[in-house]
Amino acid sequence: MKRLFLAIGILLLAGCTPEPSFHGRPFSQWRQDLKSKEVSDRWRAVDVMFEFGPAAKHAIPELIDCLHDKEFRVRIIAAQVLGNLGSEAKEAVPDLVQLLKDENPKVRSAAAEALDRVEPAGRESGKH
């Protein structure tokens, strides 16, 4: 019986990894800021997603929303973060393709680079 409780305890502890944080704020707060009404909050939050590396995959829906932000810098950084996630961000492909028509050349460039990293075979085969 002691072994059973020990095994359950170990399994529970293994599933209790602390939430990643940056500058004392947990990932979940930065993720919320991606939806802020304040452009400065959104810009800072999308930029911080770089710091979370692969953990940023948990914010893919919000990052996709950022691809449609009024502020071009938010769109650029969101595309770059999604590109860094590689194939984990495949669901962003339609939105990244749409960004290839953005009025801002820097946004178009960031979208093209992200597409190359998310779905490299798609660019080579002419899908995009």
pLDDT value at position 21?
Answer: 84
Tell me what pLDDT residue 20 has: 83
Domain harbouring 107, CATH code: 1.25.10.10
Query: How distant, in Å, are the alpha carbons of 19, 40, 44, 97 from that of 109?
Result: 33, 23, 21, 11
Tell me the C-alpha distance between 79 and 67, whole Å.
7
pLDDT averaged over 10-residue windows placed end to end, the chain, 128 residues? 48 60 91 97 96 95 98 98 98 98 98 95 51
Q: Is residue 14 part of a domain?
A: no
Q: Is residue 110 in some structural domain?
A: yes
Q: Is residue 51 part of a domain?
A: yes
pLDDT at 55: 94
Domain contains 2: no
Instruction: Quote the pLDDT of residue 19.
Output: 83
> Domain range for residue 92?
27-124
Q: Directed axis angle between helix 105-118 and helix 72-84, to 10°?
A: 10
Residue 1 lies in a domain: no
What is the β-pairing status of strands 21-22 and 25-26? antiparallel
Q: Is residue 118 part of a domain?
A: yes
Residue 120 is predicted with a pLDDT of: 79
Place of tokens 């969101």: 78
Say what the pLDDT of residue 100 is.
98
Domain count, the chain: 1
Indicate whether 3 belongs to any domain.
no
